[in-house]
Chains A and B, each alone.
Chain A
Amino acid sequence: MQTLSVNKRAAILSVLLLIFALGAWEVSVTRQEVGVALTEYEILMGLGQPRAAVPPPSDVMIRAWEQLSDPFYDNGPNDKGIGIQLAYSIQRVLTGFLLAAAMAIPLGFLIGMSPVAYKALNPFIQVLRPISPLAWMPLALFIIQDSQASAIFVIFICSVWPMLLNTAFGVAGVRADWVNVARTHELGSLRTALTVILPAAAPTILTGMRISIGIAWLVIVAAEMLVGGTGIGYYVWNEWNNLDLTSVIFSILMIGLVGMVLDAIFASLQRAVTYAE
């Protein structure tokens, strides 16, 4: 018993923390409901009527059970299952992210391999990079005239920078000896790029991709709150307007879970291309 592994001890501690946190939440919320009697003023003004109290975790769990047992139902624009909403968001994130990768990785190669290209493009990157992706939204809506495409554009613009800079950094940092190995074997530029520089820079490039997908998932929620229609961001906002806090909390948890899964996928890709020197 005394010699439980670190992992087992950590797992036990995690479960205990979870039980404690949920217990504390449950207890504090129920007490609040008992303790808060409506004042005469509130009753008269109708303020207390659809009283939105923070729901206890047991309610959230029940909601989760309902939602997850039928995640893909579709009862019209304002009532879709959580699975459908998440699928919309993931699809937007992946579209914007892949478009960004298709541009950022080749461009990053160019910048990383050519000091001139780096110097020429650097001022633009420095100005564009710190702009909040949501600041592009009005301009995107005006130019693209389509809210869905604008959301994708916002994802594109926020995920392009980490991939661009990491690719450039990784490519510029490839050891001269490895490039010389390619040169002494008379490999052309394309083969050198694919068989030497790409694998050498892959860990750094994947770090950039992992950062990008994380940012994209953060940004999609906000973007969908703005453009509306579908997606997990819209869902959260819609449930807030319905004062359905149980669903709000449930969808917050789902956003966290999906973000974790996306990160885990890129972490495993990163592990697959990492090499020890």
Chain B
Amino acid sequence: MSKPFLSVERLTQSFPDGAGGTLTVFENASFGIEKGEFVCILGHSGCGKSTIMNVLAGLAEPTSGVVKMDGMGVSGPSLDRGVVFQNYSLLPWLSALKNVTFGVKARYRDWSRDKVVDHATRYLAMVGLEGDVIHRKPSQLSGGMRQRVSIARAFANQPKLLLLDEPFGALDALTRGTIQEELLRVWSKTEQTVFMITHDIDEAILLADRILLMTNGPFARIAESVEITIPRPRVRTEIVEHPNYYAIRNHLVQFLGKRSKELAGRASDGASQSPAPVRIDLTAPAENPEPGPQTGPESGREPRAHLKAVHG
């Protein structure tokens, strides 16, 4: 089997715990992401999601292990890996447009001023920011608009890998819903590879091709990789009708509610820790008859014929 586009191999990160010992956040974690894939990682606060992302972004050095993108080892930050931070990632002294051109200028150093502005304006328009608002400073924008600008800045740079750290964590539910759909629209136009941290199960199901589930730390593990067997394009109000939706959701809830604790706190004994692939598909024929006790109320339902061709 060929190596995936992004491959994380035996990644270990430990910090001094402040009392003379070491705190191992995760150990020998291995996983891969395919080109064009949208992967979400779910886990409790403090389990080490941001730590993994900082390593992928090149902002932090792992204690051991390697990250390879396109077969090349990652070290240090790069324009090939764009990052959207949860907060404060816009420069408050620049207007929304200038925040985006800041990134575009860094990426395409030989472009003319007009070309940079055109490009930035186009990406701002993609997330619904047009007209006068793009000349406002971040402090004059709502939280949702600010995060739209961050997303526009990241996509405008057309990185090979886009990393998002709880990008909608600070937003109210309604705004979050709108921006999630915008993110999906921009993503489907650009075929961008995305790795996103979230703590919102419904958000992860709406957006992701695959969800990585992380146990609690220390010695957190990426225990499972759950495929989202719901066809695209997805719309929030429609996916909840899909027979797989609640099956997947219940699986995730069970994991976060119970198994993330049960599986926590074990050292790896030197073995590489890859997530177990999980595929829950009630629309598929017989080969997947018993989705297990966690899959909940939907288990007995008749599969719908028109949804059979799920995901290749």
The residue in chain B whose Cβ has the minimal distance to the Cβ of A191 is B106
Q: Are B85 and A275 neighbours in the complex by a CB distance under 8 Å?
A: no
Partner of A186, one of B88, B92, B106: B106
Interface set of B (CB-CB < 8 Å, partner A): 57-59, 77-79, 81-83, 85, 87-89, 91-93, 102-103, 106-107, 137-139, 157
Q: Are A184 and B83 neighbours in the complex by a CB distance under 8 Å?
A: yes
CA distance A177 to B89 in the complex (A): 6
The residue in chain A whose Cβ has the minimal distance to the Cβ of B82 is A184
Contacts of B137 in A (CB 8 A): 275-276
Nearest CB of chain A from residue B112's CB, rounded to whole Å:
19
CA distance A276 to B157 in the complex (A): 26
Q: Are B92 and A275 neighbours in the complex by a CB distance under 8 Å?
A: yes
Q: Which 3 A-B pairs have the closest CB atoms?
A: A276-B139, A185-B106, A275-B93
Nearest CB of chain B from residue A254's CB, rounded to whole Å:
37
Knowing that A181-B89, A186-B79, A277-B92 touch, tell me 6 more A-B residue pairs with CB under 8 angstroms.
Answer: A177-B85, A177-B89, A184-B81, A185-B102, A196-B91, A277-B138
Partner of A175, one of B59, B83, B88, B106: B88
Nearest CB of chain A from residue B86's CB, rounded to whole Å:
9
CA distance A183 to B92 in the complex (A): 17
Contacts of A183 in B (CB 8 A): 59, 77
Q: Are A178 and B103 neighbours in the complex by a CB distance under 8 Å?
A: no
The residue in chain A whose Cβ has the minimal distance to the Cβ of B88 is A177
Contacts of A175 in B (CB 8 A): 88
Q: Which residues from 231 to 277 on chain A have a C-beta closer than 8 Å to any C-beta of chain B?
A: 273, 275-277
Return 6 A-B CB contacts under 8 Å, by A number.
A175-B88, A177-B87, A178-B89, A199-B91, A202-B93, A277-B139
The residue in chain B whose Cβ has the minimal distance to the Cβ of A183 is B77
Q: Is the interface of B mostly helix, strand, loop or mixed?
A: loop
Nearest CB of chain B from residue A117's CB, rounded to whole Å:
23
Contacts of B103 in A (CB 8 A): 185
Q: Are A187 and B106 neighbours in the complex by a CB distance under 8 Å?
A: yes
**Most chain B CB neighbours (cut-off 10 Å) among A181, A276, A277:** A181
CA distance A183 to B85 in the complex (A): 13
**Interface membership of A195, Cβ < 8 A:** yes
The residue in chain B whose Cβ has the minimal distance to the Cβ of A275 is B93
Given the known inter-chain contacts A186-B78, A275-B139, A277-B139, please indicate yes or no for A181 contacting B91, CB distance below 8 A: yes
Q: Is the interface of A mostly helix, strand, loop or mixed?
A: helix
Given the known inter-chain contacts A177-B85, A178-B88, please indicate yes or no for A184 contacting B79, CB distance below 8 A: yes
Q: Which residues from 183 to 201 on chain A have a C-beta closer than 8 Å to any C-beta of chain B?
A: 183-187, 195-196, 199-200
Q: Are B57 and A184 neighbours in the complex by a CB distance under 8 Å?
A: yes
**Interface membership of A180, Cβ < 8 A:** yes
Partner of A180, one of B85, B92, B107, B138: B85
Q: Are B106 and A180 neighbours in the complex by a CB distance under 8 Å?
A: no
The residue in chain B whose Cβ has the minimal distance to the Cβ of A273 is B93
CA distance A184 to B76 in the complex (A): 9
Nearest CB of chain B from residue A19's CB, rounded to whole Å:
43
The residue in chain B whose Cβ has the minimal distance to the Cβ of A180 is B59
Q: Which residues from 81 to 107 on chain A have a C-beta closer than 8 Å to any C-beta of chain B?
A: none
CA distance A276 to B82 in the complex (A): 25
CA distance A185 to B58 in the complex (A): 12
CA distance A31 to B11 in the complex (A): 91
Given the known inter-chain contacts A185-B103, A275-B137, please indicate yes or no for A200 contacting B93, CB distance below 8 A: yes
CA distance A162 to B91 in the complex (A): 26
CA distance A187 to B91 in the complex (A): 15
Indicate with 1 or 0, residue by residue over A195-220, a CB within 8 angstroms of chain B CB atoms.
Answer: 11001101000000000000000000
CA distance A276 to B81 in the complex (A): 29
Indicate with 1 or 0, residue by residue over A10-52, a CB within 8 angstroms of chain B CB atoms.
Answer: 0000000000000000000000000000000000000000000
CA distance A214 to B82 in the complex (A): 45
Contacts of B157 in A (CB 8 A): 185
The residue in chain B whose Cβ has the minimal distance to the Cβ of A177 is B88
Nearest CB of chain A from residue B101's CB, rounded to whole Å:
12
Contacts of B102 in A (CB 8 A): 185, 195
Q: Are B91 and A185 neighbours in the complex by a CB distance under 8 Å?
A: no
